[in-house]
Amino acid sequence: MRGGDMRGTLDRGVRGHAPDSLKAVLRIAAFGGVYANPYALTAVLADAAARGCEKSYCLGDLGGFGAECDAIWPLLARHGVRCIAGNYDVAIGRGDADCGCGYTSERDNHFAQVMYDHTLASTSREFAAWMAQLPATERVDLGGVDVLMVHGSPLAINDFLWESLSDDELRVRLDAIDGGRPDVLLCTHTGIAWQRTVDTTLIVNVGAVGRPQNDGRTDVWYAVLEVDAATECTPAVVRAQLHPVAYDWRAQAASMRAVGLPEPFVETIETGWWTTCLEAVPPRERSRGRYHVYRDAMPSPATLADGAGWADAPAVPHDGLPVVSLFGTPLFPARLWIYTNFDCNLACGYCVVASSPAARPRRIAADRFCALVDEAVAEGFTELYLTGGEPFAHPDIEALVRYAAQRLPTVVLTNAMLFTGRRRAVLASLAALPKLTLQSSVDGSSAEFHDAWRGAGSFDRAMDGLSYARELGLPLRVAMTQTPENRDDVPALRAVLERIGIAGDAFAVRPLVARGLAADVAVDGDGGTAMAVSDAVMVPELTITTDGAHWHPVGADRETSPDFLVAEGDVPLAEAKRLIVQRFLELRQADGTLPDAFHCAI
């Protein structure tokens, strides 16, 4: 459980253990990851006192990240804070060569080493000697509640207890405790506060005092543990409260700059977003942050140029930080796809979403559509692609397109066969929208090729529709799906399209994909011509349907591509983006590779 000031969020009864000198203490503060931030520590200790905490515990890592490690010791002494050792304290106390943080990534370890070298050099030997004698754990009885405090986990001082760990993974840690499981386990090390009950143990990660917790806020976090003491008739009841604390972060940033610490570290203090040591963070937690991948892990645009697609993604701007957000890069373009509907006047034999006249219509409601467009603007999407089915079969298509194209560059994918009668007038009314483009599919230079997959008469009607759209002055793009029948017809089709003004980058060829109605077509490598695709090998392009959010438009049919479904229902775009990033990171974590581009856009 995470979020704002979480008070009284978890009540539970626990039987007491033998009392000791802390029997009368019913409210304590617990914090960790001070990271040489005396300004935050001062604010946290004041907040704890204001909340009536009778004692404060620090779970280690007094140095690192900040500039003023020696300023921490007098604050701890003045306020009578009891401390256990973190990995940083052990390393500084012994004069080790590195922090022993537990990172496995070369990039993470590079930044960890920069901070450790500064801390080791700037910490007095007296303070280091004091750190060296700190205990590894603390176990106390708090009003009849058995509380165990560790830095990382019961397994190791640098073990990360992330919120995304399963209950079974947490049970492994609990079962490693000498003396049996406690009623409450307090830990830190990850820098992100959370709490959860596993069986009969309340686990509380108290967060970190020294830097924000990657949520875009400059606040830092700590925990208050409150106990209604056990009596002869009733068990003790314990509550954990996670509190954000505002502090003078400008002073911390200034002190870091004054000693020449790298700007990415200062950036975290000033913005609340982590810019270093990212690869140790699990996908779920990392996806909540602004930055997701180290810049030097990103492929260049040239690397993606040979992918099965087109529609160039912008280059990643260099802002001086070592990390980037996935969104808005070649690995997650800022392009939103919306399926307006799934019913279609055609039943193309290779349709990746199995559209046809008999398909379940799944027409998006106008209010939902407009809300999506507004969210797209707010979330930083730079272009919209409206597809189907056949979008011009949607009864409200004029209003939908007008609303979209007045706010973002909008491309409507159409088979161009319905521009007669009322729809002819609809297209004419939309032609003046400066941000509107039509994209169509033509699969050969003649009906011989095009109609083989799309049905008799479809070529002539499509060409008539495109010619009318050109007369209206609409920008046009055309994609050809390569099939066994038309693979040698590309030059001829290019010439036909040039005669109606569709040339250069406005024309592209895409492969046949083994999805939807073409799911059973033999794939390339097995003697066939279709391309097998999955989220593991495709760059995501967030796609919204009435069923939910999907990884990519080629897998937007829930029935035939359930593996591409990211979230069901009307999920907000911000959450859909986060889920895309999380899945991307999970897939990359599995094999260490980055996916290829496959764009349906031109």
Cα–Cα distance list, 182 to 20, 24, 246, 377 (Å): 15, 19, 32, 49
CATH number of this structure's domain 335-575, picked from the four choices 4.10.780.10, 1.10.3720.10, 3.40.50.1820, 3.20.20.70: 3.20.20.70
Core vs surface per residue 537-566: b (16+ CB within 10 A) or e = bbbbbbbbbbbbbbbbbbbbbbebbeebbb
- Averaged over 587-592, what is the pLDDT? 75
Global pTM? Answer: 0.91
Which residues are within 8 A (CB) of 451 and not within 5 positions of it... i.e. 6 or more apart?
457, 458, 459
Statement: residue 8 has pLDDT above 80: no
Q: What is the pLDDT of residue 457?
A: 96
Q: What is the pLDDT of residue 318?
A: 80
Residues found in the chain? 602
Domain with CATH 3.60.21.10 in the chain: 11-254
> Over pLDDT 90: what percentage of the chain?
82
Per-residue pLDDT reduced to its tens digit, 201-242? 999 999 999 999 999 999 999 999 999 987 888 888 999 999
Domain with CATH 3.20.20.70 in the chain: 335-575
Both tokens assigned to 441: 């599919």
Confidence category of residue 377, pLDDT binned at 50, 70, 90: very high
CATH homologous superfamily of 11-254 equals: Metallo-dependent phosphatases (3.60.21.10)
Q: Are strands 335-339 and 383-387 parallel, antiparallel or unpaired?
A: parallel
Q: What is the pLDDT of residue 212?
A: 98
Q: Are strands 138-142 and 184-187 parallel, antiparallel or unpaired?
A: unpaired
Which of 538, 557, 560, 537 has its CA nearest to residue 548? 557
Interatomic CA distance for residues 555 and 521, integer angstroms: 16
Which of 295, 296, 313 has its CA nearest to residue 304? 313
Confidence category of residue 588, pLDDT binned at 50, 70, 90: confident
Confidence category of residue 537, pLDDT binned at 50, 70, 90: confident
Burial class (CB in 10 A: 0-12, 13-18, 19+), 285: buried
Statement: residue 305 has pLDDT above 50: no
CB of 394 closer than 8 Å to CB of 420: no
Which of 554, 532, 559, 531 has its CA nearest to residue 543? 554
- Averaged over 446-467, what is the pLDDT? 96
Per-residue pLDDT reduced to its tens digit, 265-301? 999 999 999 999 999 999 999 999 999 999 988 765 5
CB neighbours (10 Å) of residue 216?
A: 12
